[in-house]
Structure 1
């Protein structure tokens, strides 16, 4: 018996990385899953990889509120209900002070913040008591990483927004929690050579001395989506190998 039997989940940004890993796990645990993404080719590949009729892919741009409405409507039409929302869609991007175009900065905020809010708003009419809303934050919200102002601000906004959503949705019995991933091996970092450079640098700042895997984030999403977390409300669960809680425990600071 799967932990999500009978549940229907919407996962934005579900065609790769954390979103796809979560979709796989949710399906294995008995859920029907709707994934969204901007790239139809990537969505088709994800559906083929998931290999089940319990998955629906909807081309949608997280930056456009009407796309959220479209995805939610498709989920309810196909599967009849909605129980879990994982607002996972997001983009990174370097936005150094003194060298950033307005459009680049705005796009990051539009997708990561506005898109998250309107995803939840679109789903709300269909969510009942016991439903779970999961937001995707980031350790970079507090890390002070140079050149990442827009991304850090967007993820800080997500964690702040979650607290407000908790106050608004608790009377309806709907839970809202935030996953805070650290450095994770996902396509958000670009091509493989970019990931390799990123990994060699970042692992020295992670106490567990490695990147996280998308499946490790998905395991936490499963916990928050399932009834195992029925009294977990307003939590921010870090999945970062200790980078946020104990930065001086990282290999870069260890005595040889």
Structure 2
């Protein structure tokens, strides 16, 4: 991690802030962005030193992310890792939830992830870097009152799986993180403990440090799947047991060559515009 530059969305608190602190403690540099400018600057001041910087950015606005990543590169000279961490959680039944809540969750969690991945590609291509996307156990196990959140995290996992195949041609590895219910401020603010607080064993709540350690190890090892705790691995992996097989068959049938051809034609088309 020494001197590696890690760009983290949703980095002013929770898992993002904890990961930034871990990166810095290991000799890396962290650039954090968040919607709340005051929270970003407070976190930068808290961590202190030359290895931390950040700015305000709304992940729903592609221009914000482009400016933030440009600022990160100007400050630190490169971007080695991008962590797509920003997300929100709301609770409500499908029958009675406010449609605006559904839209907000999808905007931040899905569109925000898409925007971040797109903005990251040119920088990670330069460094043959690593993209880490934060999904959830909710992508595989769908619980009541969290329809919008579960749908968004399933979509985020799908984005990561597609990005992994498309970006492999550029030497970029993609990892997807699946934490279980974690005692962060986001969870506490919506009182999600009414659903998860009494669960034990594989479904028991864990502390943020356990997820942060798993995220950090995932970055170090450029892992494909990061699951915290490991006891929930069967629950996360079962729906995707045949992903690797499908990807292999796809490559055998010429998908890699087709992808190269399509991307070349796409780039040529953009140049002509």
> Is TM (by shorter chain) over 0.5?
yes
Deviates more, 1:237-246 or 1:104-113: 237-246
Aligned match of 1:164: 162
User: For residue 172 of structure 2, what is the aligned residue in structure 1?
Assistant: 174
Partner of 1:245: 234
The aligned residue for residue 155 of structure 1 is 153
CA distance in 2, matches of 1:30, 1:145: 39
| CA displacement at 1:143 relative to structure 2 | 2.0
Q: 1:99 to 1:212 in 2, by over 3 A?
A: same
Instruction: Kindly indicate whether structure 1 or structure 2 has the higher relative contact order, using CA contacts under 8 Å at least 6 residues apart.
Output: 1
Equivalent positions of 1:113-132 (< 5 A) are: 113-127=110-124, 128=126, 130-132=128-130
Instruction: Write out per-residue CA displacement over residues 62-119 of structure 1, whole angstroms, 9 at most, x where no aligned residue.
Output: 2222121121111011111100000000000114112122221111111111111111
Tell me the SS of whatever aligns to 1:205: coil
Structure 2: segments with no counterpart, 5+ residues = 237-273
Question: Secondary structure of 2:31's match?
Answer: strand
- Give, in whole Å, the separation in 1 of the partners of 2:202 and 2:148: 27
The structure in which a higher percent of residues are helix is 2
Question: Could you say if the C-alpha distance between residues 61 and 207 of structure 1 is closer, same or farther in structure 2, counting changes exceeding 3 Å?
Answer: same
Superimposed CA distance per residue, residues 169-223 of structure 1 (whole angstroms, 9 cap, x where no aligned partner): 11111100111011111111244x937xx1x752543416752222221212212
Cα pair distance change 1:42/1:71, threshold 3 Å: same
For the aligned residues, what is the CA RMSD?
2.1
Q: TM-score, normalised by structure 2?
A: 0.80
Paired residues of 1:129 and 1:172 also in contact (CA < 8 A): no
Distance in structure 1 (CA, Å) of the matches to 2:196 and 2:91: 16
Moved over 6 A (4+): none
> Is the 2:41–2:55 contact (alpha carbons within 8 Å) kept by the matching residues of 1?
no
Residue 26 of structure 1 is aligned with which of 23, 27, 32? 23
Q: Give 1:245 shift.
A: 3.4
User: Could you tell me whether the CA contact under 8 Å between 2:78 and 2:127 is conserved in 1?
Assistant: no
Name the structure 2 match of 1:253.
none
Query: What is the alpha-carbon distance in structure 1 between the residues aligned to residue 78 and residue 226 of structure 2?
Result: 27
The total of aligned residue pairs comes to 235
Is residue 2:185 matched to residue 1:187? Answer: yes
Q: Is it true that 1:40 corresponds to 2:37 in the alignment?
A: yes
TM-score, normalised with respect to structure 1: 0.85
